[in-house]
A and B are shown apart, each in its own frame.
Chain A
Amino acid sequence: MTDPIDDLREAMKSAPKTQGKEAAMAAAMRAFDDEFSDAVQETRSPARQTIQMQPIWSRLMAYLTDNLRPALMGGASVAALSLAAFVVVQQNGMELPPAPMIEDAEIAAAPEAEIAVAAQKRMRLDALTSEGRQGPEASSRALAPMAMGGAASDLAVMPLPAPEPVYLERDARDRFANDDPNPVKLAAEAPVSTFSIDVDTASYAWVRRSLREGRMPAPEAVRVEELINYFLYEYARPETVETPFAVSTTVMDAPWAEGRRLLHIGIRGFEPEERPRANFTFLIDTSGSMQSADKLPLLLTSFRLLLDSLGPEDTVAIVTYAGSSGVALEPTAVSEKGKILDALSGLIAGGSTAGAAGIETAYRLAEDRFDADAVNRVILATDGDFNIGASSVEAMERLIETKRESGVYLSVLGFGRGNLNDALMQSLAQAGNGQAAYIDTLAEARKALVDEVRTLTPIAEDVKIQIEFNPAVVSDYRLIGYETRALNREDFNNDKVDAGEIGAGHRVTAIYEITPVGGPARIDDLRYQPTAVGGDADELAFLRIRHKAPGSDASELSETVVAPDAADAGVEARFAVAVAGFGELLRGSDHLGDWSWDQALTLAEGAKGDDPFGYRAEFLDLIRLARSLDR
């Protein structure tokens, strides 16, 4: 071959044209105004910094100790260490000379107290890392500006610009909301278990994508209740409009533990024959990172499917955000399909993400078209790099909650991999009474957008479940999944405490594992407490469900007695249990004994049912995949 450098010179002339200049410039001008306005302190949102401080600290330390020591780029670790010092100081709200290059002269110009604090912080940080033993001199050497004749070797590192805190927040790109598995509780000590229902399914799609790409999903990415609730179970329907949902309970032997039982609770929401009119406002992330085929193009394709399933009276509006946010389509009736399709084909990915302005615009449009008899919903589609700008996560949640009160709900659709902020998606959707779904394939987009448009009609809100176990029958119990949905016992009767929402036709399943009295108890009896609990052994548990009719402030209570006898569980309950077991295996639960993939597969195969959409068949494949990966 010819001189490769000459070839490269030719090749490099074909650099692509930027699509994002305008957006980037607009965003940078705003950053400029923030930087040089008098209200610098306010615009940097002290609230957000306090909230984020702890995680950033720990992540920072992990970042330094784990990733920098291998010194990816020559001696960059020393510079990065100094960079860390800046960030920490900023996080604590100190005004440091904000420079990429700190010169002694500048430090001298800053008030003494601040320098002292900054220096102390830097030293403390140095002391925490091995590189830090070189002491503060090393830091200042690293900071010496190149232009002033810094050391001329590969080891000489460049001064780094002090980054915005948000830069470090993007560090761990896929973030998950989850808690430790629910512990086993003694019915005699803590007979009451309270939680909010959850109809999210994001975790299932995430798990599926991981497995299909040949990786076991991280245990914290597995929210078992979301796996279970992914499927449409044929539970008994509510008979009349007056009862918004029907509850069925089954007690069955636990497939994975001799002597234990499972209490399966299935809830099915009422399905009105006709869906009310819908006003959807799509808030679409069009930042540069949405460009890949599994993001914006997938969203647009599924959007077209959605249009076909909407009625002519429904309206659709589109707001985009990328750098600067804008209205791509004013609320438009679906009967004007051509206009909507035109707007869709005009969406191009480019620029960086500024979510806060976009979400406000979306709500404004939704409120302009608000119709009390219609479903009013904002649907946020993002790959998770949702830059909330000056506002904190909490402020954003408050905004969404306020809008929820006014009747506009929010759902979140997550796209792509590598950047997904699952925790933020979850908390926004929870604040907005909506669902969070993770979209990885067209089939999934179809399920979330098209098949479940019906379920977007809320029929019961703030649905809370409380179970009281009868200690005369139940020795101990644990709730499978719902870790992020736990409520305090007193929250059950407090109508001010928010909980999940059920849409038309939604199915919600909860499974408890219980040890009957006399069974293989996991917790020893106490020596000084009465162990034998008297009482009627005719009832296993008492189930209370509270919900509010949509728009109502006061909750209604429904109560069900659960009988203790194990019955032959139906196909639907068995399938749900197979999914629960699969989720527990993925989380590495220590409650399953020898029960493993093969048993999960057998159980699920025997409970496949009709499976008209093939979702269950796909699940069987996932078990097989997990089995092969776990070897």
Chain B
Amino acid sequence: MRTETSDEALAEAAGQGDRAAFATLLDRHYDRLFRLCWRLTGSEATAEDLAQDICLKLPRALRSFRREARFTTWLYRIALNAVRDDARKAVTRAKALEGLAREPVAPPDDGEVKSRWLNQAMSRLKPDLAETVALIVGEELTQAEAAEALGIAPGSVAWRMSEAKKALKILAAEDGI
């Protein structure tokens, strides 16, 4: 059986101009990137745009990739930054447009109600909680991995998860789910 080249080795090669390595990395991780963006923004269109923007930035960012970091953790960090950046701009934009309200959550009307509600509820969590939930629940990272990607202590991850749980319960009560 052929062993796969590790992400880290590919990333290092790509950072030195190896085109094929970069293509392989993109192919392996694009879906992950898109999923994460979708979980954090709740919008497929925004997620497509964000994921592509991140890909466009990767070549330059890879120049300084160091093998000590895990590639996926490094990628999550870049993705989280891009999403935060976009959220900030959305705030600026909303302010400029005299405070656009967040789109109301669609009224539940079928069997998928709950899962749809839950996915939308993500975008109503505080950004740091949503990020943590997306990594732990969505990407199934360990507490330690998530802590590294988020740049916080593992203890903070646990604390944020419990906060998120509380917040979700409150939101669910409000919406009568």
Contacts and interface: CB of A to CB of B under 8 A. Distances in A.
B64 interface: yes
B27 interface: yes
Given A67-B88, A72-B91, A7 B118 contact: yes
Contact of B89 (A103, A106, A171, A291): A171
Contacts of A100: 61, 64, 78
A417 B19 CA distance: 38
Given A15-B39, A18-B31, A67-B88, A154 B52 contact: no
B93 A173 contact: yes
Nearest to A70: B91
A25 B119 CA distance: 27
B60 A16 contact: no
Given A8-B168, A20-B52, A158-B77, A35 B59 contact: yes
Contact of A18 (B30, B63, B80, B82): B30
Interface stretch (A145-153, A553-561, A608-616): A145-153
Contact of A73 (B122, B127, B137): B127
B172 interface: yes
Contacts of A173: 89, 93, 96
B1 interface: no
B137 A31 contact: no
Contacts of B66: 101, 145, 147
Contacts of A3: 165
Interface string A1-24: 101110111111011101111011
A1 B114 CA distance: 11
B40 to A, nearest CB: 12
Contacts of B150: 158
A87 B38 CA distance: 27
A215 interface: yes
Contact of A28 (B58, B89, B93, B116): B58
Nearest to A12: B138
Nearest to B117: A11
A12 B39 contact: yes
A152 B153 contact: yes
Contact of A9 (B47, B69, B87, B137): B137
Contact of B115 (A11, A27, A147): A11
A28 B92 contact: no
Interface in B78-101: 78, 80-82, 84-85, 87-89, 91-93, 96-98, 100
Interface string A332-351: 00000000000000000111
Most A CB within 10 A of own CB, among B47, B59, B138, B151: B151
Interface in B9-31: 14, 17, 19, 22-23, 26-27, 30-31
Interface in A60-83: 63, 66-68, 72-74, 76, 80
Given A35-B59, A351-B48, A150 B22 contact: no
Contacts of A18: 30-31, 34, 47-48, 51
Interface in A281-304: 287-292
B52 A170 contact: no
Interface string B50-75: 01110111111101101011000110
Contacts of A199: none
Nearest to A23: B52
Given A5-B137, A25-B23, A162 B52 contact: no
B163 to A, nearest CB: 11
B83 to A, nearest CB: 10
A614 to B, nearest CB: 28
A73 B151 contact: no
Nearest to B51: A24
Given A1-B172, A167-B85, A418 B53 contact: no
Most B CB within 10 A of own CB, among A73, A103, A351: A73
Contacts of B147: 152
A23 B61 CA distance: 20
A74 B129 CA distance: 12
Nearest to B48: A288
Given A10-B115, A173-B89, A98 B69 contact: no
Interface string B133-176: 10001100000000110111100100001001100110010000
Nearest to B25: A28
B22 A32 contact: yes
Contact of A72 (B45, B47, B77, B87): B87
Interface string A22-53: 01110111011111100000000000000000
Nearest to B87: A72
Most A CB within 10 A of own CB, among B30, B38, B44, B84: B44
A516 interface: no
Nearest to A419: B93
Contacts of B112: 14
B35 interface: yes
A66 B52 CA distance: 28
A351 to B, nearest CB: 6
A289 B52 CA distance: 12
B57 to A, nearest CB: 5
A67 B48 contact: no
A136 interface: no
A163 interface: yes
A351 B55 CA distance: 11
A28 B55 contact: yes
Contact of A25 (B39, B55, B74, B168): B55
A593 B39 CA distance: 53
B34 A67 contact: no
Contacts of A417: 97
B78 A161 contact: yes
B81 A160 contact: yes
Given A173-B93, A352-B52, A4 B60 contact: no
B32 to A, nearest CB: 10
30 contacts: A1-B172, A8-B168, A9-B137, A11-B116, A12-B39, A15-B35, A18-B34, A24-B26, A27-B55, A28-B59, A31-B55, A31-B56, A36-B17, A74-B128, A98-B63, A146-B69, A147-B68, A147-B74, A153-B152, A157-B151, A158-B77, A161-B82, A163-B57, A164-B56, A167-B85, A173-B96, A174-B97, A351-B48, A352-B52, A385-B49
9 residue pairs, one from A and one from B, having the closest CB atoms: A99-B64, A288-B48, A28-B55, A11-B115, A352-B52, A4-B168, A11-B118, A35-B59, A24-B52
